[in-house]
Amino acid sequence: MTLLDGIRVIESAVLLNGDTVGMYLGDLGADVIKIESPPGGDYLRYFLGQITPGNSVPHLQVNKNKRSVFVDLKSPLGIALFWRLLDTADVFIDGNRPGVCDRLGIGYEAQRQRVPQIVYVQHTGFGSGGPYAKIPPHGMMMGALAGAHPLQVGDDGLVHQRQVSVDGPEMGGEATAAGGVHAAMHACAALVRAKTTGEGAFIDVAASDATLVNAWLPVTLQRNDSRITDNSGMAQRAEGELSGARYQFYRTSDDRLLLFGCIEQRFWVVFCDRVERPDLIARGNGGGTNDVGWGGDDVDLRHELQDVFATRTLAEWTQLGAEAGLPISPAHQTLSDVAGDPQIMARRVFVEGSHPVAGEFSYVGSAARIDGQDYRVRRHAPAPGEHTREVLDELGIDPTGFSP
């Protein structure tokens, strides 16, 4: 049994904003019915690299665990079918531009008159209100509004992306994914209220907002920087780069990288003892309060620690971290290294599967394990309208007139 077993979601969306919300709810076990306009449906199928015609990589990932039904919302028959579907639904996902569903006569006010407990989730780039609400955003535009794409003008006079740091809104992640998480989370909370009180909800999520909210730590630190009276407990930086020796990246004997984080004195003492360097204990004491030390800006100490870390492999250092309970972990630089990491493999974040047309496919699974169970793909991403007859049969509707 899944967490959302028995919950039905109707998704009206093309591209990533709405599709992502449905993916998260489908991953939790909801019956997600994706209503698509014939003949082609969601044109995400043709974006960002197709494995076979109509089977793009993002489509196979984000539309898994869904069923597809053709519904022409501009025809009387299509609208009639929509309302029959909505009568069986708990959640409606609106991934269209603000106002589209209202113009079709199926917006929130119309839905709640028929299904008072409906949870209506609208996930757009900039939200349903504000001066940018009517701008149709693509991809990086939502993150750009949130300041998540640091830029600089090059010597050639053109604008270039600069390397991101760990102290800005770019930590909020990819905007559609960030917004999808918040939309799904609030949908689940609204479902609890709906089941308890019979009262539905209108949830308005902007992907640009979610990028900022996800990056709450660096954002609040920057917004309140002038109010901080004691910054000794903050990670030490010089020109945006970590400068402290005890919270720093180091290279290992096999030319891999790790992040060393023994800022607490108890960790630092244990580390120095395990590497047989008691002489370093006093060297790394400065630069912190509350039993926290960053190692100051001691470049010589950084060089000495680099010499220490160059004596063992990355696997040996992570083993020491696990055995001695020390904050030492890999700092992978390639996705292949991430996928091959034993921790990532143990958590089954990547899931290998297959699609009946596209063939073998590598999915990104879930960050959560429910009752200790591994994530699994229950349904492959559907072809446009693949489940129309199946769903009509469930509703007891004669497919004549509804089939593509």
Please list the pLDDT of the chain residue by residue as tens digits (404 residues). 789 999 999 999 998 999 999 999 999 999 999 999 988 899 999 988 999 999 999 999 999 999 999 999 999 999 999 999 999 999 999 999 889 999 999 999 999 999 999 999 999 988 888 888 887 887 777 777 777 777 778 888 777 776 655 555 555 678 889 999 999 999 999 999 999 999 999 999 999 899 889 888 888 888 898 998 887 777 777 666 777 889 888 999 999 999 998 989 999 999 999 999 999 998 876 544 456 777 666 888 989 999 999 999 999 999 999 999 999 999 988 888 999 999 999 999 999 999 999 999 999 999 898 888 889 999 999 999 999 999 999 999 887 755 44
CATH number at residue 195: 3.40.50.10540
Q: Please check whether residue 225 lies inside any domain of the structure.
A: no
Q: Do residues 9 and 32 make contact, with C-beta atoms less than 8 angstroms apart?
A: yes
Alpha carbon of residue 355 to chain centroid: 23
Do 248 and 188 share a domain, yes or no? no
Q: How far is CA 17 from the centre of its chain?
A: 12
* Structural domain includes residue 371: yes
CB neighbours of residue 172 within 10 Å: 27
Specify the 3-state DSSP secondary structure of 161.
strand
CA 302 – CA 154 distance, rounded (Å):
32
Same structural domain for residues 203 and 65? Answer: yes
Of 115, 119, 124, the C-alpha closest to 189 is 119
Is there a domain that residue 358 lies in? no
Do 389 and 328 share a structural domain? no
Instruction: Say if residue 104 is in the same domain as residue 250.
Output: no
Both 65 and 176 in a single domain? yes
* 59 and 141 share one domain: yes
Statement to judge: residues 196 and 79 lie in one domain: yes
Give a yes or no: residue 227 inside a domain.
Answer: no
Q: Do both 93 and 159 map to the same domain?
A: yes
Tokens of 352: 């290998």
| Beta-strand relationship, 119-124 and 91-94 | parallel
* Residues 285, 375 share a domain: no
Residue 232 falls inside a structural domain = no
CA nearest 202: which of 123, 287, 89?
123
Domain, as residue range, for 252: 241-344
Environment class of 350 (CB within 10 Å of its CB; exposed 0-12, middle 13-18, buried 19+): middle
Work out how many domains the chain is built from and give that number.
2
Residues 149 and 248 in one domain: no
Indicate the pTM of the whole model: 0.88
CA 80 centroid distance within chain = 35
